[in-house]
């Protein structure tokens, strides 16, 4: 027993006799005279010897050499564990550190191979090498983050023609509804030039790109790729969030957007339009290039990092567009929604390129969905605008019979819509039907006219819808004209408003959409109302200047009483017209001049003829001025005062009463 135990330390202490020790133990164990205790000891010893390996003298020397080298490198790496940045020290130190970490990585590979055969000692040394490597990787991750942060290039969108909303002329009048009184030239289209230059900028100083690539390469080959990617993503996410802050795009929920006043929302939409173009065309393009530069050598890693970095900011921008799309469909919002639709449609190819792989599918799909919802909002708002015109009611006649604010608003509105003709044709195509909710307030007769107009039109979907809008406007104006008790003012009002519509169509791109036939028809319409005005106003007055009824019954002699009454009634009637119709307004100078000339030709000629024929019949012509208050030239001058929108009266000394 004692003899067996004395063999154990000797055997354990000599590596080269392990095999021999196994032979001895097994020989002793074959002795049948041994006690059970001794047999158990020999069995345990045999088991331990069986697990032992017999390293060669060469492997043993290699392990010793590795351990010595690891001691040196560990001390060197530990010396750089301070807060000071290695890359801030000197390029030489940075290069030495990379070499040291690279050597640790090489040592772990060597020890990994040895530990399979060399037993516990090599395994312990391998674990120690992994700890040193982890220490080095942690420092490299820190250096990688510092280089990315400290070498960020300033993002200055000013040189990209970006201006804040406060520097723009905010068209506050565009917030008016169709009920407001001031509408002319109040609607302005946001400039969304499609020729913006596409270019990239250096988001990180170019000089440090090689350093970032070296660190990334070493971390990836050391199986620390996840840590490297996450460090990059964290830093660049902050950079993109800062970019949105510079572009004045705050993070808002859909509820926040829906609660905004239109004036504030209008400003936010203009910021969004600029931000989208700069963010996608410049910032995302630059971010993609940076990802390619740092991670391009690692397969799809660059795309994954790019998507992880940019997905949040992109969805933030798209969420704002979605909030606008689902908001109330107010007519004043249509132009801004169209601007948003056109910008997103323009940027969609870029977005599809940046987020082309499966990893970017969420951004790509959401972009298409937001574009679709914006398109739905455009269609709904467009049709809601027509419904708003139809339902716009007035309880009092518009003073002066001039151009109603509704007419100005609608015609300026559709004039601006021509800037979006391509987009509207696309969105309105195959959507010519009118939802039942929008048709509920439209009269059946007028709806039949609209359908006939659209079906007979060979124009684009947009042209058909715009003509339908003017048809609804005319119907509304016709209702408003009935608020005047004076028939002549009814015609005057419709003449003014239809003439305004014609001039707006002729003087813009609407002319090409509406066509010559529409213009001719509406020219005839307002001229017909001009004639209706003349007939309603002047027919009864001109009847006073006719020969019929002047002579006494049963005689060919002039009745002085009838003649005096004629002149008196003419004077009173003309003065009443003058008093009223100087307050009426014809804004169009050509129409005003034409109507004055037409009235003058009829009135002055009749007056000259009548006074020339009968002036001498009044008391032998001695006191004709008692009854003929005005000369033909006076009337000519007075007619020039009509339709200026400034009421005037004719004041003359009191005359003696007519006998």
Average pLDDT, the chain: 80
Which three-class secondary structure string do you get for 561-586? HHHHHHHHHHHHHHHHHHHHHCCCEC
pLDDT at 305 over 60: yes
CA distances from 171 to 167, 174, 332 (A): 12, 6, 11
Helices (H), 418-509: 421-428, 436-439, 444-456, 461-481, 487-506
Can you tell me the mean pLDDT for 300-329?
Answer: 92
Each residue of 61-117: pLDDT tens digit?
666 766 666 666 776 777 676 667 788 777 887 887 777 777 777 777 666 655 545
Confidence of residue 274 (pLDDT cuts 50, 70, 90): very high
Least confidently predicted of 72-76, 361-365, 592-596, 613-617: 72-76
**What's the topology of domain 544-639?**
Monooxygenase (1.20.1280)
Q: Using CA atoms of 516, 520, 523, 528 in order, give the dihedral in degrees to the nearest 10.
A: -160
**Predicted TM-score (pTM) above 0.85:** no
Confidence of residue 22 (pLDDT cuts 50, 70, 90): low
Can you tell me the mean pLDDT for 149-178?
Answer: 55
Each residue of 485-540: pLDDT tens digit?
999 999 999 999 999 999 999 988 999 899 999 999 999 999 999 999 999 999 99
Q: What is the pLDDT of residue 524?
A: 96
Confidence of residue 652 (pLDDT cuts 50, 70, 90): low
- Burial degree of 437 (CB within 10 A; 0-12, 13-18, 19+): exposed
User: Would you call 434 helix, strand, or coil by DSSP?
Assistant: coil
DSSP state for residue 282 in the 8-state scheme: I
101 within 8 A of 43, measured Cβ to Cβ: no
List the chain domain ranges.
2-51, 58-150, 157-376, 392-536, 544-639
């Amino acid at each position: 027993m004692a003899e067996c135990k004395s063999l154990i330390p000797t055997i354990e202490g000599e590596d080269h006799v392990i095999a021999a020790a196994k032979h001895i133990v097994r020989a002793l164990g074959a002795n049948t005279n041994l006690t059970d205790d001794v047999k158990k000891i020999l069995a345990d010893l045999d088991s331990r010897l069986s697990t032992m390996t017999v390293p060669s003298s060469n492997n043993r020397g290699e392990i010793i050499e590795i351990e010595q080298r690891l001691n040196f490198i560990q001390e060197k790496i530990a010396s750089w564990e301070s807060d000071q940045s290695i890359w801030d020290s000197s390029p030489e130190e940075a290069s030495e550190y990379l070499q040291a970490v690279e050597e640790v990585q090489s040592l772990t590979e060597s020890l990994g191979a040895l530990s399979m055969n060399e037993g516990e000692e090599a395994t312990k040394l391998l674990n120690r090498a992994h700890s040193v490597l982890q220490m080095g990787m942690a420092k490299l991750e820190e250096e990688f983050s510092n280089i990315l942060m400290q070498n960020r290039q300033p993002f200055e969108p000013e040189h990209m023609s970006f201006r804040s909303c406060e520097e723009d002329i905010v068209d506050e009048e565009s917030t008016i509804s169709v009920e407001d009184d001031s509408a002319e030239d109040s609607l302005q289209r946001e400039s969304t030039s499609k020729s913006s230059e596409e270019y990239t900028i250096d988001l990180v100083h170019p000089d440090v790109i090689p350093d970032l690539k070296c660190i990334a390469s070493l971390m990836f080959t050391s199986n620390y790729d996840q840590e490297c990617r996450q460090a990059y993503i964290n830093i660049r996410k902050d950079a993109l969030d800062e970019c949105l802050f510079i572009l004045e795009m705050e993070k808002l929920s859909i509820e926040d957007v829906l609660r905004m006043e239109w004036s504030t929302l209008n400003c936010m939409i203009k910021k969004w339009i600029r931000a989208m173009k700069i963010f996608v065309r410049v910032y995302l393009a630059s971010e993609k290039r940076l990802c390619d530069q740092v991670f391009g050598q690692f397969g799809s890693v660059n795309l994954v990092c790019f998507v992880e970095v940019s997905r949040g900011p992109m969805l933030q921008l798209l969420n704002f567009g979605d909030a606008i799309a689902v908001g109330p469909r107010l007519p004043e919002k249509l132009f801004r929604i169209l601007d948003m639709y056109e910008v997103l449609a323009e940027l969609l190819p870029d977005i599809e390129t940046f987020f082309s792989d499966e990893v970017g599918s969420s951004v790509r799909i959401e972009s298409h969905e937001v574009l679709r919802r914006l398109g739905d909002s455009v269609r709904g708002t467009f049709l809601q605008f027509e419904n708003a015109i139809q339902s716009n009611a007035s309880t009092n006649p518009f003073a002066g019979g001039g151009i109603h604010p509704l007419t100005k608003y609608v015609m300026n509105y559709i004039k601006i819509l021509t800037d979006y003709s391509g987009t509207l044709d696309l969105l309105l195509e195959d959507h010519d039907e009118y939802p039942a909710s929008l048709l509920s307030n439209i009269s059946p007769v007028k709806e039949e006219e609209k359908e006939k107009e659209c079906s007979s039109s060979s124009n684009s979907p947009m042209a058909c819808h715009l003509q339908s809008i003017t048809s609804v406007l005319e119907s509304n104006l016709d209702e408003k004209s009935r608020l005047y008790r004076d028939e002549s003012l009814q015609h005057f009002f419709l003449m003014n408003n239809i003439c305004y519509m014609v001039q707006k169509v002729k003087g813009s791109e609407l002319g090409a959409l509406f066509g010559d036939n529409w213009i001719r028809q509406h020219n005839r319409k307002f001229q017909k109302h001009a004639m209706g005005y003349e007939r309603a106003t002047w027919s009864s007055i001109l009847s006073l200047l006719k020969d019929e009824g002047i002579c006494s019954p049963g005689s060919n002699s002039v009745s002085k009483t009838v003649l005096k009454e004629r002149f008196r009634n003419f004077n009173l009637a003309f003065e009443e017209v003058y008093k009223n119709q100087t307050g009426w307004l014809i804004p169009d100078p050509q129409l005003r001049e034409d109507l004055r000339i037409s009235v003058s030709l009829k009135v002055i000629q009749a007056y000259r003829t009548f006074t020339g024929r009968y002036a001498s019949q009044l008391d032998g012509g001695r006191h004709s001025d008692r009854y003929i208050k005005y000369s033909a030239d006076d009337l000519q001058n007075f007619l020039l005062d009509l339709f200026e929108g400034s009421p005037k009266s004719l004041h003359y000394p009191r005359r003696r009463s007519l006998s």
